[in-house]
Amino acid sequence: MAPVLPLVLPLQPRIRLAQGLWLLSWLLALAGGLILLCSGHLLVQLRHLGTFLAPSCQFPALPQAALAAGAVALGTGLVGAGASQASLNAALYLPWRGVLGPLLVAGTAGGGGLLVLALGLALSLPGSLDEALEEGLGTALAHYRDTEVPGHCQDKRLVDELQLRYHCCGRHGYKDWFGVQWVSSRYLDPSDQDVVDRIQSNVEGLYLTDGVPFSCCNPHSPRPCLQNRLSDSYAHPLFDPRQPNQNLWAQGCHEVLLEHLQDLAGTLGSMLAVTFLLQALVLLGLRYLQTALEGLGGVIDGEGETQGYLFPSGLKEMLKTAWLQGWIAHRPAPEEAPPGEAPLKEDLSEA
């Protein structure tokens, strides 16, 4: 049966193939290293922003899969660089002859599978961020006041750091704070009639105001921070409630975080696609180089032409051969006669 996708390789093309593979392998190693850095950066970001994602969000699976794929790509690139450089010297290539085949199988099955998985996650998971951030940010705002409730003691600090770092306010805007009680009840004066009226006027018994936390204030604003009575056009001279961005952060945190995480996922996805292409080229090139050198006994500058290929025969014949080899390897050996029986047989024949 003829080999699958054969390619005739004379001396000069063999040498150029080895040299080109050396360069591609280092590019693959570089791409794998960059994926490790990008996926690690995304994991660190999610560690800080995990509070603002829904518990059911599967987005953290993307950097985890990309981390594994980047590590395999880095290893494949280093192996490819070493094997292609060694192939130019018969003495150096000798140790590679026995291990290059299994390494190619492992790189194709393991590395290729991880890259496909990570690339699929990079294309599908960012779409789920919208609902995850909607739920997570809503929960964080609702528990902003619960500084002494177990499990939510850090929510206030995390929300304030989020708004100050990402220059955002509320979930979709500063008015989101008008619909939640963000002041803890322990800091409210029960004898204050205004406090009593506000709590009694709310069906859920919440203390709602038209104010925002200090972290919503823009420090670049030329005037002091305005946090309370923001909907009252007469409460603050020279302040127009229709233009709050002159004093408060204009964007909501949902929009800012969604754009930030989707940009990181898009960058990681592009790098995974480039790495997948590089890894495919390196593995194909190494396979052709390996099979070509096998026909020359591992000597790249051997006389004449040689043929490289992907598989030595068709897929059906290859599977049949592998099955037969496995059956023969596991077939029980014929029983040997005990050592004491052979002389006895000889004695009987003499008699």
Q: Is residue 134 part of a domain?
A: no
Q: Is residue 62 part of a domain?
A: yes
**12 and 157 co-located in one domain:** no
**161 and 306 co-located in one domain:** no
**226 and 173 co-located in one domain:** yes
How far apart CA 218 and CA 201 sit, in angstroms, is: 31
Which residues partner with 306 through β-bridges?
Answer: 9
Q: Is residue 30 part of a domain?
A: yes
Which residue do the tokens 């518990």 mark? Answer: 55
Q: Is residue 73 part of a domain?
A: yes
**116 and 10 co-located in one domain:** yes
**51 and 100 co-located in one domain:** yes
Compute CA distances 53 → 87, 133, 165, whole Å: 51, 5, 17
Vertex 214: Cα angle to 134 and 177 (nearest 5): 35
Give the mean model confidence (pLDDT) for residues 85-111: 77
Which DSSP string do the residues of 37-62 spell out, in sequence order? HHHHHHHHHHHHHGGGS-TT--TTHH
pLDDT at 223: 75
**91 and 170 co-located in one domain:** no
Residue with more model confidence, 94 or 34: 34
**214 and 274 co-located in one domain:** no
Residue 218 has pLDDT above 70, yes or no: yes
How far apart CA 40 and CA 64 sit, in angstroms, is: 8
Q: Is residue 336 part of a domain?
A: no
How far apart CA 140 and CA 135 sit, in angstroms, is: 9
Lowest mean pLDDT among 45-59, 90-104, 319-333: 319-333
Which of 93-97, 109-113, 159-163, 205-209: highest mean pLDDT? 159-163
**122 and 10 co-located in one domain:** yes
Q: Is residue 68 part of a domain?
A: yes
Q: Residue 138 corresponds to which amino acid?
A: G
pLDDT at 348: 40
**58 and 41 co-located in one domain:** yes
All residues at 6 or more sequence positions from 321 whose CB lies less than 8 Å from its CB, including other chains: 313
Per the structure, the count of domains in the chain is: 2
Instruction: Give the structural domain span for 176.
Output: 147-230+245-253
pLDDT at 349: 47
Tokens coding 268? 């990681």
Residue 200 banded pLDDT, cuts 50, 70, 90: confident
Residue 139 has pLDDT above 80, yes or no: yes
Q: Is residue 343 part of a domain?
A: no
Q: What is the pLDDT of residues 309-345, one digit of tens each?
A: 666 765 555 555 545 544 554 455 555 545 554 444 4
**11 and 124 co-located in one domain:** yes
Give the mean model confidence (pLDDT) for residues 125-133: 90
**66 and 123 co-located in one domain:** yes
**224 and 263 co-located in one domain:** no
pLDDT at 109: 81
Q: Is residue 320 part of a domain?
A: no
Residue 228 banded pLDDT, cuts 50, 70, 90: confident
Give the mean model confidence (pLDDT) for residues 139-162: 90
Residue 197 banded pLDDT, cuts 50, 70, 90: confident
